[in-house]
Amino acid sequence: MTAQIIDGKGFAAEVRQKVAGHVTRLREEHGLTPGLAVVLVGEDPASQVYVRAKGKATVEAGMESFEHRLDADTPEADLLALVEKLNKDPAVHGILVQLPLPEHIDSDLVINAIDPDKDVDGFHILNVGRLGTGQKSMVPCTPLGCLMMLRHHHGTLSGKEAVVIGRSNIVGKPMAHLLLGDSCTVTIAHSRTQDLPGVVRRADIVVAAVGRPGMVQGDWIKPGATVIDVGINRIEAPERGTNEDGSVKTRLVGDVDFDSAKDVAGAITPVPGGVGPMTIACLLANTVTACARANRLPEPEGLTA
Ligand code: NDP
pLDDT at 245: 94
pLDDT at 157: 98
The total number of structural domains that make up the chain: 2
Helices 172-181, 125-132: inter-axial angle, 10-degree rounding? 30
pLDDT at 110: 98
Would you say residue 123 has pLDDT above 90? yes
Q: Note whether 229 and 101 are same-domain residues.
A: no
Q: Note whether 157 and 79 are same-domain residues.
A: no
Q: Note whether 109 and 192 are same-domain residues.
A: no
Asked, for residue 296, whether it belongs to a domain, the answer is no
pLDDT at 104: 98
pLDDT at 85: 98
pLDDT at 99: 96
- Buried (b) or exposed (e) across 119-131, using 16+ Cβ within 10 A? bbbbbbebbbebb
Tell me if residue 195 is catalytic: no
pLDDT at 240: 95
pLDDT at 92: 98
> Using CA of residue 175, residue 179, residue 255, residue 210, what is the dihedral sign?
positive
pLDDT at 109: 98
Q: To the nearest whole number, what is the mean pLDDT of the chain?
A: 97
Q: Note whether 65 and 163 are same-domain residues.
A: no
pLDDT at 166: 98
Tell me if residue 98 is catalytic: yes
Asked, for residue 176, whether it belongs to a domain, the answer is yes
pLDDT at 124: 98
Of 76, 101, 116, the domain-final residue: 116
The terminus-to-terminus CA distance of the chain in angstroms comes to 31
Would you say residue 199 has pLDDT above 80? yes
Asked, for residue 16, whether it belongs to a domain, the answer is no
Asked, for residue 126, whether it belongs to a domain, the answer is no
Say if strands 250-253 and 233-236 run parallel, antiparallel, or are unpaired.
antiparallel
Secondary structure (H, E, C), 44-86: CHHHHHHHHHHHHHHHHCCCEEEEEEECCCCCHHHHHHHHHHH
pLDDT tens digits for 41-96?
Answer: 999 999 999 999 999 999 999 999 999 999 999 999 999 999 999 999 999 999 99
Average pLDDT over every residue of 287-300: 96
Q: Note whether 110 and 168 are same-domain residues.
A: no
Residue 245 DSSP SS3: coil
Average pLDDT over every residue of 266-295: 97
Selected catalytic residue, list 98, 160, 182, 204: 98
Would you say residue 152 has pLDDT above 80? yes
Would you say residue 10 has pLDDT above 90? yes
Selected catalytic residue, list 115, 117, 119, 121: 121
Q: Whose CA is nearest to atom 35 of ligand 1?
A: 231
Asked, for residue 1, whether it belongs to a domain, the answer is no
Would you say residue 232 has pLDDT above 80? yes
Residues touching ligand 1 (Cβ under 6 Å) are: 142, 165-168, 170-172, 189-193, 196, 209-212, 230-233, 275-276, 279
Asked, for residue 21, whether it belongs to a domain, the answer is no
**How far, in Å, from the CA of 209 to the mean position of ligand 1?**
4
Would you say residue 1 has pLDDT above 80? no
Contacts of 301 (CB under 8 A, 6+ apart): none
Asked, for residue 268, whether it belongs to a domain, the answer is yes
Tell me if residue 173 is catalytic: no
Identity of the amino acid at 237: A
- Percent of the chain past pLDDT 90, that is, above it, reads 100
Domain that holds residue 83: 31-116
- Angle, CA 302 vertex, CA 167 and CA 9 arms, to 5°: 70
Q: Whose CA is nearest to atom 18 of ligand 1?
A: 191
**How far, in Å, from the CA of 271 to the mean position of ligand 1?**
15
**How far, in Å, from the CA of 166 to the mean position of ligand 1?**
5
**How far, in Å, from the CA of 211 to the mean position of ligand 1?**
5
pLDDT at 205: 98
